[in-house]
Structure 1
Amino acid sequence: MNFNFLSPVSDLVLAHNELLSAQALGRKIKIHSEQNGIPDLEDVSIAIIGVLENRNDINYIGAEFNLDEIRKSFYSLYPGTWTTTIADLGDINKGESVEDTYFALKTAINLLVKKNIIPVILGGTQDLTYPNYRAYDNLIPMVNIVNVDSKFDLGDSTKPIKNNSFVGKIVLDKPYNLFNYATIGYQTYFNSQEEIDLMDNLYFESYRLGDVSNNISLVEPVLRDANIVTIDLSSVRSAEVSLNQKYSPNGLDGKEICAISRYAGISNKVTSFGIYEYKPSKDDEITSMLISQMLWYFIEGVNLRVKDDDFSDERNYQKFITLIESEELIFYKSNKTGRWWIEIPFLSEVNNKLKRHTLLPCMHQDYLDACNNKVPDRWYKAFRKNCM
């Protein structure tokens, strides 16, 4: 694969890596260096890519930044009992234009996903989610995006793309490949009523910060159904991050953001994962360590993946049927993991592009609600999207 647009990991980070224990992560992963070039990716499962693009930040001031502190923190951690091979492919530098950077990232993600390698993107501004999404244009028919963010980032699609208004472009730009967009950890006071109404009208999913903090497992099904997971660091409360990173006194705490990262890793469908809006500062150690631990938990999740959604063999699952008014709802429970799905039979009959969404991940609570004559919210929104 041709990755000529990637610059190697800095000598400063490599020198720091040489001082680490032989058991540390940095000594066990493949690293793109000036001396050795891009590593062989034949047995690689996860590839880290830094993207040094921040020109679409609404507060852009022209300051340069790098990801050295994140790498030093991540390399210093110790791996779990992992079977996956990890590579750090270095950075995509700013192109002549933002569109050049987009093209390089889109190309890199497309090539890696085709090779069944999960790209982990470190940025940079969150508008990089747009080229991440466009990398799937010729890979799968429909795409699910989960955004961990305090805001919906819908914005005005008629205006130039920015880091707080990229989703409108994803929704309205051809080809139309987006099936579902979900926001985890949103805070109502950061979102206009128009955006909240638009999320409802498009039957997209949203999970309020308070609900997520009360029950973190609430977000597991939507992450299980995601192809792309993108995290805005502004979703993390100020007490957890360094000075430049502080955004709001309320937000997800360190344990919650790591649990979400782990859920994303465990999902069999997640094929790209991004952490964005990193803003380094002199007291940067706490933010870089938090990002490193998020990466660690994502990789831990990937190593715990279990293929449990094959329902062709009756020995692998239990089937439950409920009746709500005149609608028959069919649930499946995996015997391997205990995870639940709900069937949406009409999707494959109406629109071939939606065939892969016939089984929708859900929770045991959704089955209990159906037994009490309550239609599960995820099922209803998927039904309505199909009718639009």
Structure 2
Amino acid sequence: MNELFQTASRPEESLFFRKNDRNDVRLGEIVSAREEDYPAADIVIIGCPQDEGVIRNNGREGARLAPDAIRREFYKLTPFGIKTKIFDFGNTIIKNTLEETHEAHCRIVTQILRDEKRIISLGGGNDLSYPDGCAMSEVFGKSNWIAINIDAHFDVRAGEPRNSGTPYRQLLEEKLLKPDYFYEIGFQPQLASPVYYRYLQNLGVNLISLDQLRSRETADLEIRELIRQKFISHSSSLSTFFGFDIDAVRSSEAPGVSAPNPFGLRAGEFLTLVQFAAKLTNTKIIEFTEVNPNFDIDNRTAKLVAVGMHKFCAG
């Protein structure tokens, strides 16, 4: 275990907010980053502070700052309703290339999963879904896990080099994820390539757009119910990964993202989906990516993810 800890940098002490009021304790006074407390943890936080994948995808720099920005807000919150023990593993040490960083992150996440912990994975760019997905496949088997991508985009771009738009294509093409066990939730048609839509359709991926997610039309209800029943049958026996690209949330409530959109999930809808993930006992990883503190307003986006983390920890 000592070797594993050497592949990550410890979280800075200044991130752990302390109220110093015994009647108003905060998470920064409870969550541990001490190596000796790791074995008792139920949930482990791991960050990957890089935005090379976003830059490769012609996105805005700044997502590398997100893990600590989110932590800073999370540790200000109270532990109200949280009974789980939380451990902060720190951040994956960034390597010379994105590919090397992904390998390092995957090794850490793989071991944490083998230690039977639930994981909160903080990006960084959405390319993080590739190493997190690789770890799921390694630990649980290629045919024994589900991936749910809550995102305005598909993130199945073709071509090299890998970037923040390619993670699920990589997982599918490398046969690490079964198409039938992959769910694309909340995509927006005006942001989605018809070519990639047909690619996913032809593979048999489960697709629900943001419009369908909200629609009350009979046809859309039937689609959602069909996928819901399918998902329930899958999630009751298979390990589950949830990836939340925060640009799925509308920019009025999440302005600090790599690719802001005026239309998207409301903050309440986002938190409802997080709570859904938390209540599934087979959820192994919940991942939050694409927060960009350089463009945040009053830390609004970091605070939203921090609340999502709180909801997940409360179960």
Q: TM-score, normalised by structure 1?
A: 0.69
8 A contact 2:257–2:293 mirrored in 1? yes
Alignment partners' CA distance in 2, 1:208 and 1:137: 26
Aligned to 1:290: 304
Aligned to 1:29: 31
* Structure 2 counterpart SS, 1:105: helix
Aligned to 1:144: 146
* Structure 2 counterpart SS, 1:275: strand
Shift of 1:46: 0.3
1:50 aligned onto 2:47: yes
1:268 aligned onto 2:281: yes
Alignment partners' CA distance in 1, 2:48 and 2:88: 12
Alignment partners' CA distance in 2, 1:70 and 1:88: 12
Shift of 1:80: 3.3
For CA contacts below 8 A with separation 6 or more, give which structure has more relative contact order: 2
8 A contact 1:181–1:205 mirrored in 2? yes
> Alpha-carbon deviations, 1:50-108, whole Å to 9, x = none?
11121011135665625333112111112233331011111113212212211221111
Q: Which moved more, 1:253-262 or 1:264-273?
A: 264-273
Aligned to 1:18: 18
Q: Which moved more, 1:221-230 or 1:142-151?
A: 221-230
RMSD: 2.5
Q: Percent identity?
A: 22
Alignment partners' CA distance in 2, 1:43 and 1:13: 22
Q: Unaligned regions of 5+ residues in structure 1, if any?
A: 302-388
CA 1:5–1:212 in structure 2 vs 1: closer, same or farther (change >3 Å)? same
Q: Unaligned regions of 5+ residues in structure 2, if any?
A: none
Shift of 1:177: 5.7
Aligned to 1:233: 246
Aligned to 2:111: 111
* Structure 2 counterpart SS, 1:91: strand
Shift of 1:268: 1.7
* Structure 2 counterpart SS, 1:278: coil
Amino acid at match of 1:153: D
1:182 aligned onto 2:195: no
> Alpha-carbon deviations, 1:181-212, whole Å to 9, x = none?
11111111111222222222111111111232
> Alpha-carbon deviations, 1:152-174, whole Å to 9, x = none?
11111x42211112221111115
Alignment partners' CA distance in 2, 1:88 and 1:283: 26
> Alpha-carbon deviations, 1:242-289, whole Å to 9, x = none?
355561111001000000001011112211110001111263511111
Give the alignment of 1:83-122 within 5 angstroms.
83-122=83-122
Amino acid at match of 2:71: R
User: Which structure dedicates a bigger proportion of its chain to helix?
Assistant: 2
CA 1:80–1:147 in structure 2 vs 1: closer, same or farther (change >3 Å)? same
1:299 aligned onto 2:313: yes
Equivalent residues, number: 293
Aligned to 2:58: 59
Q: Which moved more, 1:241-250 or 1:198-207?
A: 241-250
Larger radius of gyration: 1
Amino acid at match of 1:289: K
Amino acid at match of 1:117: K
Amino acid at match of 1:124: G
Q: TM-score, normalised by structure 2?
A: 0.84
Q: Which moved more, 1:202-211 or 1:120-129?
A: 202-211
8 A contact 2:46–2:88 mirrored in 1? yes
Aligned to 1:323: none
> Alpha-carbon deviations, 1:221-253, whole Å to 9, x = none?
638726111010110001102355561111001
Amino acid at match of 1:169: Q
Amino acid at match of 1:100: E
Aligned to 1:344: none
Shift of 1:38: 2.9
Alignment partners' CA distance in 1, 2:89 and 2:306: 16
